[in-house]
Structure 1
């Protein structure tokens, strides 16, 4: 009897172990299928000084528990930024979400140079997406203040002297100069980098042909598709061209 009991007990324990293993595997498979968390930048282009939205994509939501933890970490101090909508710094970060089981966003206010080239990671339950927010010249704009734009357009006889300076901008500006309906080729804009921002300079001296003496000179400069300078000035032909 003792032998039979031992055999039965052994089979029972083996069955229990197999059942537990199957349950654990089932839970792991369900958890992996339930969420596929990653985050993406949802603001384009990013304007330094404005707000930036990083959206945590939750994926499948079936069977989601409303108490599942939502969390954002990282940034310049590598700390907790948001936990279930509660901000560690309400003047800098806040959450946007429609539903506890839906995608949720970290909004970074007054985005500055300390916020870029940093790691951010969002967590939903036990899943986490950890990525860097890199600076690039296609998606970020640093606008110059009015005091950081210097323009000089001077004319002597048929000579036109143009000097332009932009300070603390990003990326390097692109400029176009037009006299009348003629677009001029301009030399590459010179620049130097101060941390992540750029100081850019353009100087050009132009000889005006007499047939264009009664036209206008137009100068347009832009950061990506955002215009930062657009001026038109009449040529002083009555005094300069004879």
Structure 2
């Protein structure tokens, strides 16, 4: 003989009822998420939605009631749209960070399906705001620092110097709901970017690339006095060498002319003596 307790029977019945309810309603989450744009949640039922069954949407930061039979708690934020007799959707206007990483549920009568709107590199990319991106490149006491700070970005970027391929090490990162503020810092005893050369930083954010607006603030310094003195000595040395060479050439020319004159005199003298004889 098998004995079933009343409480056990109701527990089994409740679990079976939940499974059956979930099977009758299917919630589809947005596949692409962009802040400031619409989010669309799709709810599909296995049969025609009866007029006697109510439709509900719940979710958001506080998992609250968003819409009941087409009437929303905030018409500027939420809208319900009937697609056909078995399908309807919830439209969330101007998606914000607070709309993400939250549970959402659609319900028809007693049938319900609930899921978490999770963000990842495949469905969500947020590039940093160029207006608040910070880049600082400076030199103090012979040490060079390059600091980059990106605000409100997802996922955490991989950044490098575009013209060198050097990766900027991440030194700090903070997170709000889903967005990051990330700091990168590169230190060197030698110039990271030669003076006068363009400073270009490229970051890979998910599958997208972001070129950081930056400029090389290191001013090319003039040559030192030692370098100037060395250059002056070199110039003077070259000039002296040139003058010496020219002087020697002139002396050699004069010497040759003198020799030629003496030779001609000797020849003329010999010719005169021969004529006398």
Q: What is the aligned partner in structure 2 of residue 9 from structure 1?
A: none
Find the aligned partners of 1:55 and 1:41 in 2 and give their Cα distance.
Answer: 7
Q: Indicate conservation of the 8 Å contact 1:155/1:240, yes or no.
A: no
- Bigger helix fraction: 2
Tell me, yes or no, if structure 1 residue 90 matches structure 2 residue 75. Answer: yes
Q: Indicate conservation of the 8 Å contact 2:170/2:182, yes or no.
A: no
Rg larger in 1 or in 2? 2
Q: What is the aligned partner in structure 2 of residue 109 from structure 1?
A: 93
Q: What is the aligned partner in structure 2 of residue 81 from structure 1?
A: 66
Q: Indicate conservation of the 8 Å contact 2:159/2:167, yes or no.
A: no
Find the aligned partners of 1:240 and 1:200 in 2 and give their Cα distance.
Answer: 36
Shift of 1:125: 4.1
Unmatched segments (≥5 aa) in structure 2: 1-19, 228-277
2:103 is aligned, of 119, 124, 128, to: 119
Find the aligned partners of 2:40 and 2:124 in 1 and give their Cα distance.
Answer: 13
Judging changes above 3 Å, is the alpha-carbon distance between structure 1 residues 40 and 77 closer, same or farther for their aligned structure 2 residues? same
Q: Indicate conservation of the 8 Å contact 1:173/1:223, yes or no.
A: yes
Q: What is the aligned partner in structure 2 of residue 219 from structure 1?
A: 201
Find the aligned partners of 1:114 and 1:89 in 2 and give their Cα distance.
Answer: 15
Alignment of 1:1-242 (within 5 A): 36-44=24-32, 46-58=33-45, 60-61=46-47, 64-65=48-49, 67=51, 69-99=54-84, 101-136=85-120, 138-153=122-137, 161-179=145-163, 182-194=164-176, 196-205=178-187, 207=190, 216-231=198-213
Q: Indicate conservation of the 8 Å contact 1:113/1:196, yes or no.
A: yes
Shift of 1:138: 4.6
Q: Indicate conservation of the 8 Å contact 1:148/1:168, yes or no.
A: no
Q: TM-score, normalised by structure 2?
A: 0.57
- Bigger strand fraction: 1
**Paired residues, what number?**
201
Judging changes above 3 Å, is the alpha-carbon distance between structure 1 residues 120 and 236 closer, same or farther for their aligned structure 2 residues? closer
Shift of 1:76: 2.9
Find the aligned partners of 2:192 and 2:99 in 1 and give their Cα distance.
Answer: 50
The Cα RMSD (Å) is 3.8
Q: Indicate conservation of the 8 Å contact 1:92/1:108, yes or no.
A: yes
Find the aligned partners of 1:98 and 1:161 in 2 and give their Cα distance.
Answer: 57
What are the Cα deviations for residues 105-151 of structure 1, in whole angstroms up to 9, with x where unaligned? 21222323332332211023442102222344553344443443112
What are the Cα deviations for residues 214-242 of structure 1, in whole angstroms up to 9, with x where unaligned? 86442112432344444475798976899
Shift of 1:200: 0.8
Q: TM-score, normalised by structure 1?
A: 0.63
